[in-house]
Amino acid sequence: MALKPYDFVSCPDFGGGGAVVEDCHFHDGHVRGILLKSSDSVVARCRFERIARSGLVVAPEIYWLEGPFPRNIRVEGNTFIDCGHGAVGKAEKHWEFAPLQVVSAFTSRLFPPLFSGAVNMHGIRCIGNRIVRAPGPGIFIMNTADVALEGNRVIGPGSLPGASAVLDLNRNLPATANLTASEREVLRDPAYGILLMSVKGVRAAGNQVEGGRGLIGKGKGVEGLDIR
């Protein structure tokens, strides 16, 4: 097979494809609960409590280009309580701050890391999850096409005092990024139930938020959003 510059080759048979994590309790961790890179995987009915960074991160390994780009992921019926607070501080903001996060963000080992607009993940299903007291957004979906967000409930996004002064995501965009005023305002204080950026084809139905700035915040590059 002829390859072109920037082609990506990966064998899903040796990338942990089809992993299933069910009915587990992740708590009091100093990094993340689960870092999920394998396609065709399921995380269901798990409980994430007091995890310093995200409870669940779905992301490829951008820096080393190790492993596949995740596809066909189902995240259903999980509970996230007080996750991500340790990623937001005056001295540092780690990029894994949303309790449930699907983002190819770490494209550079600069501080702060720069977000990429590339859509490289597909088929993400987040259904019936409950998120309580997120420092910023409860769910952050980025770099993804074909997304289903159904029946999720977010209670208290933006609940960490002082987090809004740190979570200005505009600084994580390249200087050449062209955003509207409303998009920049969303990213300035992203305390929404669900934050979307660089996504295509999102179906959102039956989601709820209590507190924060609103149910869904739209940053740069949101195409085909269907809210019901």
Tens-digit pLDDT profile for residues 127-168: 999 999 999 999 999 999 999 999 999 999 999 988 888 899
As to burial, measured by CB atoms within 10 angstroms (0-12 exposed, 13-18 middle, 19+ buried), residue 16 is middle
pLDDT at 10: 72
Task: Name which of 64, 73, 11 is nearest 36 in CA terms.
Answer: 73
Per-residue pLDDT tens digits for 188-217: 999 999 999 999 999 999 999 999 999 999
Residue 3: inside a domain, yes or no? no
Residue 7: inside a domain, yes or no? no
Residue 11: inside a domain, yes or no? no
CB 99 within 8 A of CB 138: yes
Residue 214: inside a domain, yes or no? yes
Q: What pLDDT band is residue 110 in, cutting at 50, 70 and 90?
A: low
Residue 9: inside a domain, yes or no? no
Residue 4: inside a domain, yes or no? no
Domain ranges, residue 87: 17-227
Residue 134: inside a domain, yes or no? yes
Residue 12: inside a domain, yes or no? no
> Domain total for the chain?
1
Residue 112 reports pLDDT greater than 70: no
CATH number at residue 134: 2.160.20
pLDDT at 67: 73
Task: Name which of 37, 49, 45, 41 is nearest 76 in CA terms.
Answer: 45
Q: Per residue, what are the HEC states of 146-210? A: EEEEECCEEEEECCCCCHHHCCCHHHHCCCCCCCCHHHHHHHHCCCCCEEEEEEEEEEEECCEEE
